Amino acid sequence: MHVHILGICGTFMGGIAALARAAGHEVTGCDRNVYPPMSTQLRKLEIDIHEGVDAAQLDVAPDCVVVGNVMSRGVEVVEAMLDRGLPYLSGPQWLAENVLQGRHVFAVAGTHGKTTTASMLAWILEDAGHAPGFLIGGVPANFGESARFGNSEYFVVEADEYDTAFFDKRAKFVHYRPKTVILNNLEYDHADIYRDVDAILWQFHQLLRTVPGGGRVISNGADENLRKLLDMGCWTPVETFGTRGKSDWTAHFADKVERRISLRDPGGRSAETRWQIGGLYNLENALAAVAASASAGVTLEQAVDAMSRFEGVKRRMERTATVADIAIYDDFAHHPTAIRKTIASVRSRYPGHRVVVAIEPRSNTMKLGVHNDAIADSLKGADLVWMYRPQGMGEEFAAALSSLGAKIRVFGDYDQLVSDMSARVLSGDQVVFMSNGGFGSARQTLTAMLQRTRGS
């Protein structure tokens, strides 16, 4: 079968392409912007990518068109697809019908931590010999790829609550029919499609309606919105996890610098290990992944031991360079809660060092001003902050940052921001670039500039 994918260079749709190729299909696709790393990954799989959204690409008459949610009515290729009567479906629907059917699906849902938790869970299952399939919105370092078909009944999917396609406004995750669900947390986000947190709660409720009674729900016991969600109706056994208070699964750091972790299961058994990452939020992610892996028969000792070999995820506090004892990180944090937790983690892991943040607010929710009241508070734990201000950000955004005083510097030009940073960062600084986009290659530019001026 020839599958043509619209919006193929997105992480999710690129993963769909890789899975379709692994299943033996001929795969092609298009996107407005074709760029690495996804374009490189796809070409290694011998997948032809058409740059642009013109109608001519459909002249080959594919057997099926898979439509990404970046596509909308009025786009030339979409209109041609409809006019020609070509068979089409969304990425989540294709995944459900062609990959997930008949498998034990682990769905990792929540506002924060989905990518890291899904990566941890996939690695635990892999380390235990289960050879799982997975589709993750990032690249786990242990695998070096964002998607794999797998050789077992188990499949891990990052379960996104964003809408499915222009013709299907349900959340993506309602298609997946999971047997085991992780609910990491739930906050207001995606203001471009959800009017309030209650609208998001309703979508999560639809997810819970699909989980069988013989399955398992792993829920963050400290999250008030998740408690509200479960009160709306849940027909599946629930196990809670948390690092504070009473939960079925618990965890804590076994040292002050977050190098050792200790986890306890509902039966009171515990296991401890040294790991390579840090942060209380990552400890919560690890605890959720360990709890979920029990659905596949993985013991606590096996799962915790696997975490000692978990290498992290690309763009999730990924240390990309160290120049003149200045550590530079790439991080995906773009919601105030994630920003605050990331800064706190770096502060705990590297006591006595300055935590320096460069941030690019580019999510639709941030641009709509929804997080204006929270953004300054989330950044106050940093010693210095460089903020890139995109065009169109209103005066309310600037006013929201005023409480940060002299510690924040705002620029509307990437090169000016990097030049200012290069003059002010000091040896020992932990420099974190935060963006869910490319940040104008500012991180790479700063790294090159420091290498020229201060040596390696």
| pLDDT tens figures, 88-117 | 999 999 999 999 999 999 999 998 889 999
Sign, CA dihedral 335-249-351-325, equals negative
Q: Which of 119-133, 263-277, 363-377 has the lowest mean pLDDT?
A: 363-377
Two structure tokens written together for 48: 């032809």
Percent of the chain with pLDDT over 90: 70
Tens of pLDDT, residues 442-455: 999 999 999 998 86
Which class does domain 2-90 fall in? Answer: alpha beta
Over 60: is that where the pLDDT of 185 sits? yes
Q: Choose between 378 and 67: higher pLDDT.
A: 67
pLDDT value of position 338: 84
Structure-block tokens of residue 91:
């990425």
| Sign (positive or negative) of CA dihedral 369, 373, 374, 380 | positive
Asked if the model's pLDDT at residue 368 lies above 70, the reply is: no
Which of 94, 158, 444, 93 lies closest to 288, judged by CA? 158
Q: What is the mean pLDDT of the chain?
A: 91
264-279 pLDDT, tens digit per residue, is 999 999 999 999 988 8
Report yes or no: 163 and 169 within 8 Å, Cβ to Cβ: yes
Q: Are 191 and 365 in contact (CB under 8 A)?
A: yes
36 vs 2 pLDDT, higher one: 2
pLDDT of 429 higher than 60: yes
Return the domain boundaries, the chain: 2-90, 102-307, 318-454
pLDDT digits (tens, 9 = 90+) for 286-296: 999 999 999 99
Asked if 219 contacts 208 with a C-beta cutoff of 8 angstroms, the reply is: no
CATH topology of domain 318-454: Protein-Tyrosine Phosphatase; Chain A (3.90.190)
- With 0-12 / 13-18 / 19 or more C-beta atoms within 10 angstroms meaning exposed / middle / buried, residue 375 is buried
Angle between helix axes 336-349 and 280-293 (nearest 10 degrees) is: 100
How far apart (Å, rounded) are the C-alpha atoms in residues 16 and 12? 6
Q: How far is CA 235 from CA 173, 212, 222, 400, 440, in A?
A: 17, 7, 20, 43, 47
Please give the structure tokens belonging to residue 445: 């530019």
Q: Which two tokens stand for residue 254?
A: 């076994």
Q: How far apart are CA 255 and CA 271, in angstroms?
A: 14
Confidence of residue 127 (pLDDT cuts 50, 70, 90): very high
- Look at phi and psi of residue 205 and say left if phi exceeds 0, alpha if psi is from -120 to 50, else beta: alpha
328, 321 Cβ separation under 8 angstroms: yes
Q: 6 by DSSP, 3-state: which?
A: strand
pLDDT greater than 70 at residue 194: yes
Structure tokens belonging to residue 378: 């989330």
pLDDT for the residue numbered 250: 97
pLDDT higher for 225 or 395?
225
Q: What is the pLDDT of residues 196-238, one digit of tens each?
A: 889 999 999 999 999 999 999 999 999 999 999 999 999 999 9
Examine the pLDDT at 40 and tell me if it is beyond 90: no
Distance CA 12, CA 17 (A): 9
Burial 145-175 (b: 16+ CB within 10 A, else e): ebbbbbeeebbbbbbbbebbbbebebbbbbb
Bridge partners, residue 105, by sequence: 155
Q: Residues 6 or more apart from 297 whose CB is under 8 A from it?
A: none
The predicted model gives 52-56 an average pLDDT of: 96
Q: Where are the alpha helices (DSSP H) in 280-427?
A: 280-293, 300-307, 336-349, 364-367, 372-379, 395-400, 414-424
Nearest Cα residue to 69 out of 3, 136, 115, 11: 11
The percent of residues above 70 in pLDDT, for the chain, comes to 95
102-307 folds as UDP-N-acetylmuramoyl-L-alanine:D-glutamate ligase (3.40.1190)
Whether 398 has a pLDDT exceeding 80, the answer reads: no
Helix, coil or strand: residue 275: coil
Q: Which residue has the higher pLDDT, 166 or 38?
A: 166
